[in-house]
């Protein structure tokens, strides 16, 4: 798909265009480079012995790798959603859809999301709304429509305060959020996932979420796609000087993904029901292995899946196979037969990540 030839119809298409054509990665890294596995030259295993399978929301999945939340709402994104969903179904991995808020104002866009469930009947699919929507709602009757739209297994609520603040038309009210989340939790009968969108989640927030019974947290830390960067490019196009300056200043704001996984994992140690999705800058199977080793139960990749989806169906499939292979090789080289083994292998933590953990009093 040649993105430069596709008409940009609204903000979502514009985001897809900018994310795939501009340099939108954060300058700060994930800090996974400060973690090293200890190589095991005699693993006593064959590649065929490695088993990546695990369970999410009561469904068996082939590997702890999700397609991150991105798209829906337009013709272009329907195509991308269908391609990604077909691949997710083929490889039996979960998929998160992009924000479904658009459905509330434009019900005619429903099929751009429901096509995901039609193409992927068996896998866990996670719906999506933003925190600004939740914060401004007096009641949550509309949420059933969002959930039924894709027969969602869980509903993700994304935290994107910084993006809203930089975004030319963004929301500015974020008080009373925990109370609203508590109400929402009482009104829906599927689990809620709280996810960031590139700035990470701390142990303090994870524990507040645990207290209101929200137990699935997608950290989405720094090190991958920077939404401030995306909004910077939009502000630049509109010639909005202040927003551009804010965009430059806050480009790398937040908690690097590896530190954020450690943060949330320190809370999950005392809450066995808590499950962590490690995301934000996960780019290959070694990143996946490191995220799982330091406490994530699953991982999610967003922009890498967009880039291959724009190329075509077989490119998505090759990317999934490559990521699985990289994870399997990492597991073989550390002597792990399955994901549980991987959680116990020795690692060395150095530099800034070690300093962060010491200052934050997080055991490692
Ligand atoms: C094109 C694009 C659109 C996105 N749209 C959403 C969205 O609608 N809802 C959401 O929760 N996150 C959205 N995200 C954020 C991702 O889910 C993810 O948290 C973030 O991009 C970091 O992951 P990455 O570094 O693997 O891209 C989007 C990301 C991309 C690349």
Closest Cα partner for 165 from 252, 111, 246? Answer: 246
pTM more than 0.95: yes
β-bridge mates for residue 126, sequence order: 96, 154
Structure-token match 């800090």, residue found: 31
Domain presence at residue 364 = no
Closest Cα partner for 302 from 21, 96, 18? Answer: 96
End-to-end Cα distance, the chain: 45
Average pLDDT over residues 22-31: 97
Sign of the Cα pseudo-torsion (44, 50, 52, 53, in order): negative
pLDDT of residue 169: 74
Number of domains in the chain: 1
Domain presence at residue 189 = yes
| Model confidence pLDDT, tens digit, residues 77-125 | 999 999 999 999 999 999 999 999 999 999 999 999 999 999 999 999 9
How far, in Å, CA of 260 to CA of 124, rounded? Answer: 24
Q: Give the domain range for residue 203.
A: 3-359
Q: Determine if ligand 1 sits within 6 Å of the CB of residue 127.
A: no
Substitution candidate for ligand 1 out of 193, 197, 217, 282 with most atoms within 8 A of CB: 197
Reduced to 3 states (helix: H, G, I; strand: E, B; else coil), residue 167 is coil
Average pLDDT over residues 7-13: 80
Which residue has a Cα nearest atom 3 of ligand 1?
Answer: 70
pLDDT band at 166 (very low <50, low <70, confident <90, very high): confident
The CATH number linked to 219 is 3.20.20.70
| Model confidence pLDDT, tens digit, residues 245-299 | 999 999 999 999 999 999 999 999 999 999 999 999 999 999 999 999 999 999 9
Q: Determine if ligand 1 sits within 6 Å of the CB of residue 210.
A: no
**Contact between 229 and 191 (Cβ < 8 Å):** no
How far, in Å, CA of 235 to CA of 286, rounded? Answer: 35
Domain presence at residue 81 = yes
**Contact between 195 and 277 (Cβ < 8 Å):** yes
Burial class (CB in 10 A: 0-12, 13-18, 19+), 107: exposed
How far, in Å, CA of 100 to CA of 72, rounded? Answer: 7
How high does pLDDT run on average in the chain? 96
pLDDT band at 172 (very low <50, low <70, confident <90, very high): confident
pLDDT of residue 2: 76
Q: Point out the least confidently predicted range of 160-174, 181-195, 252-266, 299-313.
A: 160-174
Task: Please give the number of the atom of ligand 1 that sits closest to the Cα of 197.
Answer: 19
Cα 177 to ligand 1 centre (Å): 21
């Amino acid at each position: 798909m040649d993105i430069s030839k596709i008409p940009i119809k609204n903000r979502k298409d514009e985001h897809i265009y900018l994310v795939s054509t501009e340099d939108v990665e954060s300058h700060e890294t994930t800090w996974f480079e400060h973690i090293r596995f200890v190589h095991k030259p005699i693993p006593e295993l064959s590649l065929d012995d490695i088993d990546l399978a695990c369970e999410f929301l009561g469904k068996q999945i082939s590997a702890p790798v999700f397609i991150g939340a991105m798209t829906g709402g337009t013709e272009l994104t329907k195509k991308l959603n269908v391609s990604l969903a077909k691949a997710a179904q083929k490889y039996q991995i979960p998929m998160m859809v992009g924000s479904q808020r658009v459905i509330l104002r434009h019900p005619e866009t429903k099929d751009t999301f429901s096509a995901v469930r039609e193409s992927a009947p068996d896998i866990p699919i996670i719906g999506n709304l933003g925190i600004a929507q939740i914060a401004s709602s007096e009641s949550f009757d509309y949420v059933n429509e969002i959930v039924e739209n894709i027969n969602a297994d869980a509903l993700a609520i994304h935290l994107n305060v910084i993006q809203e603040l930089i975004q030319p038309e963004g929301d500015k009210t974020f008080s009373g959020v925990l109370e609203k989340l508590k109400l929402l939790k009482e009104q829906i009968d599927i689990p809620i996932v709280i996810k960031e969108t590139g700035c990470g989640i701390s142990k303090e927030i994870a524990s507040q979420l645990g207290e209101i019974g929200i137990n699935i947290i997608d950290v989405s830390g720094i090190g991958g796609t920077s939404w401030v960067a995306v909004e910077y490019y939009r502000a630049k196009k509109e010639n909005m000087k202040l927003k551009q300056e804010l965009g430059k200043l806050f480009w790398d704001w937040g908690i690097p993904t590896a530190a954020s996984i450690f943060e949330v994992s320190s809370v999950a140690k005392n809450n066995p029901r808590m499950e962590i999705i490690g995301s934000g800058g996960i780019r290959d199977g070694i990143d996946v292995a490191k995220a799982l080793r330091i406490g994530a139960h699953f991982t999610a990749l967003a922009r890498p899946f967009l880039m291959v989806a724009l190329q075509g169906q077989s490119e998505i499939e090759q990317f999934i196979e490559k990521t699985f292979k990289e994870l399997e090789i990492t597991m073989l080289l550390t002597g792990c037969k399955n994901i549980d083994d991987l959680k116990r292998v020795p690692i060395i933590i150095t530099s800034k990540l070690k300093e962060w953990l010491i200052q934050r009093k997080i055991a490692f």
